[in-house]
Amino acid sequence: MTAPITAIRTRAHRFALRRPWGPDVPDIRVISVEVHTADGEVGRGFTWTPSIGATAVRALIDDDLTAFLVGRPSTPDEWDAAWAHLHEAGGGGITTIALAGIDLALWDLQARRAGTSVTSLRGRLHERLPVYGSGVNLHYPLDELVAQAERWVAAGLQAVKIKVGKPSLAEDLDRVAAVRETIGPDRRLLVDANQRWDGDAAARAIPALAAHDIGWIEEPLRADDLAVHRELHRRIDVPVALGENLHTVHRFRDFLDADAVDIVQPNIIRVGGITPFLRIADLARERGVVLAAHLLPELSAQIAFTLPEQTWIEDVEDAGFAQLGALEHPILTASDGWVSGGPELGLGFDFVGGGGGGGGAPSR
């Protein structure tokens, strides 16, 4: 029988972004999580959010999840019971972000018990995966955006993603054209509107952007509005990518049932951890749609290495944990547009105290 959980301890970290993602996103917040068991073992995980909500997430872990999970078995199989327990506070969002910290710690613990990594525990199917360059760059002047694209080309990346959604469509078109010219005709160019348009604005902008051979349009509309996504998908020919703001397998199924999406992009933290992410990956495979994990390459790649299909890994420039100096030891190796490697034990997330604001005191 698996040893029960005896304690859950958290620590808050704040890591300043090298270049803010906007005036309201100067840093990322990490809550590192330790799950302690009756046999003296410790699993380590984390949860994450850009600037907003970390205090509430930590409180859910420290108060509600700890009270519920202490005394229960220390396995990822506890996810459904924990989600049902938190559901009164919301089926997804802050609740699933909090659950992710526990779920990752329990996967880490399970792998450590087996003397291996989570990737090896699940069964590694890929030694390396392709990376696409990404940037939160809508606020970059055009020359800086082009310079970023030049760095991606120099790094050997075969796909890149930029933000669109300027007040003027003409400015978006100029920026996309400049990046396309910089990267050449053979690399994939992806664009992300980050929910900035309504249905009519999206229907005008996307065909115009398509003249520059864009591979997908990401989050063209407010993620909550399924009906408008369904109508937009009917009106355009460019593949629609979304999912970073969908929080449960049920919501992903809703969008797939509505024929509103072509590429699903679950964020492992936002959906509640590895356990629900794998269910979403299974759903995508069943429906025959592409899966591209959102952000967090040090985590996403470890799980994507175990999926049957080859999955692109998103790498936001200068925003990975390694680039921010957030980790005691690097987890992955990146070279010539590919990512490989991984930890020997567990998930390998050993965070430093926290730059740009410092770490908080542990609880419980």
Catalytic residues: 163, 294
Contacts of 171 (CB under 8 A, 6+ apart): none
Q: Are 242 and 264 in contact (CB under 8 A)?
A: yes
Written as one letter, the residue type at 355 is G
Q: Show Cβ contacts of residue 98 under 8 Å, excluding neighbours closer than 6 positions.
A: 47, 57, 58, 60, 61, 65, 86
What is the chain's Cα-based Rg?
20
As given in the structure block, the two tokens for residue 121 are 């525990």
Q: What is the DSSP letter of 351?
A: B
Distance (Å, whole) CA 336 – CA 348: 23
Counts of helices then strands in the chain (DSSP H, E): 12, 13
Q: Label the pairing between strands 338-341 and 128-134.
A: antiparallel
Q: Of 274, 267, 319, nearest to 291 (Cα)? A: 267
The whole-angstrom separation of Cα 100 and Cα 267 is 10
Can you list the positions of beta strands (E) in the chain? Answer: 5-16, 27-37, 42-49, 128-134, 159-163, 188-192, 214-218, 240-242, 263-264, 290-291, 313-316, 332-335, 338-341
Residue 131 class from Cβ within 10 Å (0-12 exposed, 13-18 middle, 19+ buried)?
A: buried
Measured distance CA(250)–CA(113) in Å, rounded: 32
Query: What's the longest Cα–Cα distance across the chain?
Result: 63
